[in-house]
Amino acid sequence: MIHIDQTKQIFHLTDSHFSYVLKVHQGKLLNLYWGAALAHADLDYLVEAIRPGASFELTEQRTPLELPTMGTGWYGMPAVQAQNADGNTLTALTYRSYRLLPHKPDLPGLPHVVDPAAETLQLQLIDSLTGLEVIVSYTVSGGGLTRSLSFSNHGTQPLTLTHMASASATVSAQGLDVIHLRGAHARERQLVRTPVGQGTYAFDSQRGASGHEHNPFVALATPHTTEDSGQVWSMNLIYSGSFLASAQVRETGDTVLSIGLNPAVHQWRLESGAQFDTPEALLVYSSQGFNGMSHIYHHIFREHLCQSPWNHRPRPILINNWEATYFNFTEEKILQIARAAAQLGIELFVLDDGWFGQRDDDHRSLGDWYVNTRKLPHGLKHLAEQIEALGLRFGLWFEPEMISPNSDLYRAHPDWCLHAPGRPRTEGRHQLILDLGRPEVQQFIINMMKETLSSAPISYVKWDMNRNMTEAFSAVLPPERQMETQHRYMLGLYHVLEEITQAFPEVLFESCAGGGGRFDAGMLYYMPQTWTSDNTDAIERLGIQYGTSLVYPPSAMGAHISASPNHQVGRVTTMQMRGDVALSGNFGFELDLSRLSAEDRVTAKAFVNRVKALRTITQGGMFTRLISPFEGSNYAAWQFTYEDQVLLCCFRKLNEPNPVPHRVYLKDLDEHAFYRDEAGHTYSGAALMHAGLPMTFFPQHDFTSYVTVFTQQKG
């Protein structure tokens, strides 16, 4: 995996998917190559081509630095920059040594890829004037490459870290497209693909969360790359806070791809003798298009990132009462819905917002985590036991990171929220954000969660976070450390999540942030699934789930059947369509089951039985995209492959007059084998992949779907 030529000072990190080649040249650490796997990595001839184009140009302008810094001849965005006690930001890093570890060390306090058997290369660079040491760690794992930085101050004066990119790499190809996932609340992770152009293409979050607007993922692709062919270079930041991702086209035509903490809101004061670790970045290269890239990400996230015991367990089919009742419910109404759920074979009831304090609307009571006895007069334990007696498990909604100004907690601790002295405290959804950088706030949340989860038979937690940061300053930090507030918040959150998930390993945790506003690998480390979007409309979900799958596996996506007309867009769709879209994720219901028509009850029960039969495939199978709902397409299709079964899911948005016979082409089948669908039709693998399946199976109305399982025939 890691080959070292000590004589030529070349480090070759490789597996069957990629090679990543570093070289020390004149004390600088160069990134010579990132791309398809190479058998031999002596790329010294590339170094000979690095020369200035004119007498007044500096060589460093054209040097593919692995850790570019500003002020000594590099004029792009720096990966590393530190301000010293004199006020200047010149940082000159020189290679000093390497270590090869037989394992992958943990990254204390931060989520990270876990692969104890993988070798790790650590390279030491030093700024001899200031005493700044940077250790760059690389691990080849699961088809990808992880990279993180550790800073130490060996000087006598404090330093301020202003740029701390977890990854920065040169892609030596030209005319590339940049790909990322953008959106907003209720339309998260829409696929964007555009020529990277000249200069810098950048996007970020400054919100204290990875955000609805941009996901912490960026990729470059050759212009004609498709789902199944072409080259892709990509990075994903394993972090849940503010980030910056960029693609910088250099004067050489090469593109520098980088991702890391956002310097607009992140700085860190590094005292003499202190250490600071960046979040980890995961780098994935694919020569087999976007599906090839996704397969690697999905594998790593399921096998080496998510630490929950639920990661490989069948996820329960749930009913959430939110869209059925919102805040307006009673104990009897909850039990009424639960009884209907039990009759359908549903396995888990989730009580959403409104069960605590005086929480009759979103104006009050966040922070007052005691039972609202007016709604639940017999308490939480009694309700949970009543629901368990019906044969369902019981789950509960929390928003532990928030505080309402109208709450007992705020009246007792008004300084516990993020705020700037003398400035108004900006409210979002009538709430403020607790300062999780403070140990006493962390302990309050830990104690509250432990007490509540121990008070009743609670099997599931929906962990929500419904607003982004404003006035991101802390009452307990000195002025020179205020730019650390956002990152200290994230470290505090990760500490809380570690404590709670370790204390309650049998509880299934699902993260949520106003829907999909914190759908990232950092949260996935602690919680095996995330509420994909508050938008539950089946047609909208085609794009949201398709875009999300570019990086994250369907086993991480919450997907529910909700009411029709849909509460977000008002669209009317059949339960069959809504269910066929939802079964591709962690399946559930979000509507009043007690008010279903007789026809819909039959359909709902059929879906419950079908999902129980299919969830091994959808949660453990290899997910492959077939037809994109983006780019104006009226169709969408994808498949799951698990052992000898292939689950095909096809969707059509609008009916068409005199339709062209569109075809769907399955992938990754055995050309020489035969596959039988659920209707008894048998096809050769070669025919399904190359001749395709004509999509004549849709009913003659809008918003239709078709789902079937192909089973490979023996012999």
Give the integer Cα–Cα distance in Å for 697 and 524.
37
Give the integer Cα–Cα distance in Å for 108 and 238.
13
In angstroms, the first-to-last Cα distance of the chain is 38
Marked catalytic residue, from 115, 277, 353, 534 = 534
Give the integer Cα–Cα distance in Å for 547 and 20.
27
Marked catalytic residue, from 177, 464, 537, 580 = 464
With H, G, I as helix, E, B as strand and everything else as coil, classify residue 57: coil
The answer to whether 436 touches 443, Cβ cutoff 8 Å, is no
The answer to whether 669 touches 692, Cβ cutoff 8 Å, is no
The answer to whether 215 touches 551, Cβ cutoff 8 Å, is yes
Going from the C-alpha of 186 to that of each of 60, 182, 190, 544, 678, the distances in angstroms are: 45, 12, 11, 9, 35
427's CB contacts (< 8 A; 6+ apart) are 405
Closest C-alpha among 338, 403, 339, 337 to residue 368: 403
The answer to whether 48 touches 11, Cβ cutoff 8 Å, is no
Looking at residue 517, the DSSP 8-state letter turns out to be: T
Q: Which amino acid is at 708?
A: T
Give the integer Cα–Cα distance in Å for 26 and 73.
15
**682-684 vs 586-590, strand pairing mode:** unpaired
83's CB contacts (< 8 A; 6+ apart) are 89, 159, 160, 162
185's CB contacts (< 8 A; 6+ apart) are 212, 514, 515, 517, 534
Clarify whether 106 is annotated catalytic.
no
Angle at 216 between CA 12 and CA 404, to 5 degrees: 145
Burial of 56 (C-beta count, 10 Å sphere; 0-12/13-18/19+): exposed
Residues linked to residue 161 through DSSP beta bridges, in sequence order: 82, 268
Write phi, then psi, for 301 (nearest 5 degrees): -65, -35
Number of CB atoms found within 10 A of residue 594's CB: 15
Clarify whether 277 is annotated catalytic.
no
The answer to whether 162 touches 272, Cβ cutoff 8 Å, is no
Q: Which helix (H) or strand (E) holds 643?
A: none
Question: What tokens appear for 285 in the block?
Answer: 């290269």
Give the integer Cα–Cα distance in Å for 531 and 546.
15
Looking at residue 428, the DSSP 8-state letter turns out to be: B
Which residue bears the tokens 């701390």? 164
Q: Which helix (H) or strand (E) holds 646?
A: strand 645-652
With H, G, I as helix, E, B as strand and everything else as coil, classify residue 612: helix
Question: What tokens appear for 31 in the block?
Answer: 């990134």
Which residues are part of the catalytic machinery? 464, 534
